[in-house]
Structure formats: C-alpha cells, structure tokens
Structure 1
Amino acid sequence: MTRLGIVLVTHVTEISEGLVKLLREVAKDVDITVGAGLDGGEIGTSFERIQVAFDVNPADELLVFYDLGSAKMNLEMVMEISERSVHLYDTAFVESAYTAAALIQAGSSLEEIAQQLVPLKIK
C-alpha cells in the first residue's frame, strides 16, 4: 500500500506548530512535515523551507495543504522540480488537513481522502 504523508505550508510558524499538535491527536503515525515562516520569525513562505518539508517527509505520496494564496505560488514552484507524487488541495486549511490526517491514520485510500475533501474546497 502507498504510504501517504502530509505537508503543511503556512506563513506563520506558530500556526503550523499548533496544527501539527492538533493533527497528532488523531494521526500519531502519519508523516507530517512543515514549511512555514521565514528566518528570524518573519511572516511569509519560503521555497527552500517548503522544499525541505518535501525532502524530509518519508511518505511515498504527499498531500499538501496551505494557508494563503501566496504560499501556493511557492508550493507550485517546488512541485515543478520535485520528483515526488504530490497532491495539492485548495481547501479549508485546518479542516482539510485534519480530515486527511485522520483518514490516513485510518488506512483510507487517496481516492477516499480526495472525495472527503471535495466539500471543503474553497479556493
């Protein structure tokens, strides 16, 4: 079975830290990595931090969630050069990451997860 993991991209490191804490409540075995913030605690997203989040996640396929539109630009650039299988979701950030994490933990397929995320599409 394909191993699914999650990458979270946020402008603020503390947002991603809080979300990871929440996801761990329902998905203790799911690979979750984060590309968040800028050096010095500045707000923003970084191509390099997102690339590291992709590289260190040991899953076979990545489900990627982001907080704001400008994060999507950096994500798309990383996806262009990545050899990973990546699924980018334009969905409600917290709700969809939580749903995906719980479903991955429960052993759901990528198709089942994608179907559950459809009602959360907002972008």
Structure 2
Amino acid sequence: MKTVSLVIISHSMEIANGLKKILGQVAPDVPIALAGGSNGGIGTDAFRIKEAIESVYSEKGVVILFDLGSAYLNAELALELMEDSKAVKIADAPLVEGAYAAVVEASIGSSIDEVIRASESSKYIVKVTE
C-alpha cells in the first residue's frame, strides 16, 4: 500500500533523527525523509529540503512538518525550486505532535488532506489553558 510520505525539517539533525526514530516505531511503513541542520550545524537548507521531498515523493503526496519559522520559509523555497510540487503540502502544526498524528493517519492509507487535517488538529491538543 502506498502512503502519504513525510518530510521532517528541523534546525537540528539530532532532533530530526530522534523524531524519525519515534515515528518509525509507530508506523514503520510510512516513508519519512529528514532535512535537519545546515552544513553540520544548526539551520535549514532549501536544497536539502528539496532533496528530502524528492526522495520520498509518491502519487499519494508528501506532508512537510517543520520546527521554526525559517524552516517554513526554506520549505516554501524548496517547493518553488521543484518542477512539480502539486502533491506536496506544508502542515501548520507543532513538530512532534503534528508528525505523530500525521504518521498515524498516513499509516492507515488516508489522503494527503486527511493527513494534513490530523496533523494540524494536534495543535489544539497541546494548547495550554489557564
């Protein structure tokens, strides 16, 4: 079964690797690519993100999750660099919780829109109330 794939973008490769390890235990059949760190340090890189997207691209689509604002900007730039990015969407979700919800939803064969919806709904779970 083909599934929606995930791309995890973090300013830290260690964070990206740790999250992929968790997600792989939950849903080992969902393709996950990482774009973490920049030149061995902290940061993100649009070309590395583009390569990550292309490495897990399928007709079902790719959902991108990111940690900080500049990662989002580089994800947008990566999409601009691609010839065809119609089946790639960026989730507006907390990285860990959003990725967890996304991988579970992808693992049951859901569409890209359902994966995005599950991922983005996770932000309400972590909302702190007074």
Fold shared, TM-score > 0.5 on shorter chain: yes
Structure 1: which 4+ aligned runs deviate by more than 6 Å?
Answer: none
| Counterpart position of 2:127 | none
**1:6 counterpart = 2:2:** no
How far, CA to CA, are the matches of 1:96 and 1:35 in structure 2? 16
Aligned residues: 121
String of CA shifts for 1:68-102, please: whole Å, max 9, x gaps: 00101110011112213111011111001111111
Q: Could you tell me whether the CA contact under 8 Å between 2:97 and 2:123 is conserved in 1?
A: no
Shift of 1:116: 2.3
Range with greater deviation from structure 2 (27-36 or 107-116): 107-116
How far, CA to CA, are the matches of 1:46 and 1:37 in structure 2? 8
Shift of 1:121: 4.2
Unaligned regions of 5+ residues in structure 2, if any? Answer: 125-130
Higher strand share: 1
Shift of 1:59: 2.4
| Counterpart position of 2:99 | 97
Q: Give the root-mean-square deviation of aligned CA atoms.
A: 1.8
The TM-score with structure 1 as length reference comes to: 0.88
How far, CA to CA, are the matches of 1:106 and 1:2 in structure 2? 10
Q: Percent identity?
A: 35
Shift of 1:67: 0.3
